[in-house]
Amino acid sequence: MSVLFRSNGTTAQPLVLTEALTASLWDRMRRFPILFATQYETTFSSFRAILGDRRTILVAFRRGENLLGLGMVYGITPGSEAQIQVTFFDGKLKGKEAIGRAFIVWVFGLLPVNRVSAPMRADAQTMIRYLERIGLVFEGCKRHYFKITPLARGQREQPTLCDLFLYGVTREDAETLLWQRGHAKPPRLVHFRYDIARDLASGIGRADAIEA
């Protein structure tokens, strides 16, 4: 299987979904209720639809045979931006900053976008600090974006409202914040089609390896 990039002893590879793998990922990700910032109360069917969307690119982070985590690129608007989410199944983010930075560089190399963004719930403080450490900056807030129900929180209380924080990094900022750390500068892509990006992510094409 193609290697998209390598970082900090971790190999990033295209993730090809099967029904069994989708079910396995669902079981793992249910432990992280803030994983998808705009899909807090997700059902399995909606989860499968998100991952199976042809405009969504999935990347598996592996150490040896172990599936360490998952990177997702979605909300792609050519010429504008792409959104990302990063999850590590051990729940630990410290020490994995180089993986996040390499992922951002890879996205900029793959897609003709001017910015990469990561919307995140305001109460996800651990993930917010991780986003800041890998180079994303706070850009704004959508107030009262989520209605968090007692069922979702596992507590007996009235529903509460939660803000959505907007984090992002521009291509120009990434050149300074990320590529100066030793990453090779990815080329700017002029022509883009979703199927080409999907092919690259599924191993039909191959991106240059990035060592962090």
Residue type, 163: D
Structural domain contains residue 17: yes
Residue 87 DSSP SS3: strand
Q: What is the pLDDT of residue 35?
A: 54
Q: What share of the chain is helix, strand, coil (3-state, %, to 5)?
A: 30, 30, 40
Q: Which domain holds residue 129?
A: 5-201
Structural domain contains residue 208: no
Structural domain contains residue 195: yes
Structural domain contains residue 156: yes
Structural domain contains residue 206: no
Structural domain contains residue 9: yes
- Statement: residue 188 has pLDDT above 90: no
Structural domain contains residue 147: yes
Residue 149 or 20, more confident = 20
CA distance 72 to 83: 8
**What's the rounded mean pLDDT across residues 28-36?**
64
Q: What would the pLDDT profile of 47-80 be if each residue is shown by its tens digit?
A: 777 777 778 898 999 998 898 999 999 989 988 9
When divided into structural domains, the chain yields a total of 1
The dihedrals phi and psi of 185, each to the nearest 5 degrees, come to -70, 120
CA distance 106 to 117: 14
Task: Provide the CATH number for the domain around residue 96.
Answer: 3.40.630.30
Structural domain contains residue 80: yes
